[in-house]
A and B are shown apart, each in its own frame.
Chain A
Amino acid sequence: MTLTVSFQIVPFTAMLTLNIFAIAMIFAMVRLLRGPSLADRVVALDLVAALAVGVIAVYAILTEQPMLLRAGIVVALVIFVGTVAFAMYLEKRAKP
């Protein structure tokens, strides 16, 4: 009895976590579409990418594939470069 429960509890929690991540990503998408300034959108895009890394991690637990963590590393790397490039572009556009 306890064995079956121990086999069930991690996938159940992982599915619950994926649902919470989906709602959070919808909220971040709302700010990405509505943001008054371009900097707001960049912040929202950064949060969406961080949530994507989290979703990849939960999916690695759900499918028991540790190889997926490397995809998370790549997403984190790419989005950091993108955010820094956006920030430098914004700063350069503001200064004449």
Chain B
Amino acid sequence: MFFELITCFLLLIGAIFSFIAALGIVRMPDLFTRMQAAAKTGTLGVGCTILAVATFFGDIGVATRAGLVILFLFLTSPIAAHMIARAGYISGVALWSGSVTDEMRDQYDPVTHHLSSEPRKKSDNDSQMLGM
């Protein structure tokens, strides 16, 4: 009875988080905000649902496989989201008009596709001249 109640609780939590992820992917204004909603919230929702499977069966083999799925999801989902965001930025997807900061604008050259770890020379000189 107790484990069944925990199973129901985890199922509902997972479903609500997955629903919030889908709502975010429809309602958000931008590729990057959409990707963030889908990656974080969706991973948490599916992870809770698979944890519900582990508590429902109460078997060590099933729990191991469930832990494997959760570990795999938590490892791969940020990597996939990061790669899509990078590809979207490089292929020129526009940011939302209300975006506050764009830290890659100084370090990425959209013409030569060169990504440097420091700000580009032109803006560097500008800031030095401003400093003088």
Contacts and interface: CB of A to CB of B under 8 A. Distances in A.
| Dominant secondary structure of chain B at its interface with chain A | helix
Interface string B3-16: 01101100110111
A77 interface: yes
A57 B22 contact: no
10 contacts: A39-B84, A39-B93, A43-B84, A44-B38, A46-B39, A51-B18, A61-B7, A69-B69, A73-B69, A84-B79
* Those 7 A-B pairs whose CB atoms lie nearest each other, nearest first: A24-B22, A39-B88, A87-B83, A27-B22, A94-B91, A90-B87, A20-B15
Given A24-B23, A91-B90, 15 more contacts: A6-B4, A39-B31, A39-B93, A46-B81, A47-B21, A47-B25, A51-B18, A51-B22, A57-B50, A61-B11, A72-B50, A83-B83, A86-B84, A90-B88, A91-B83
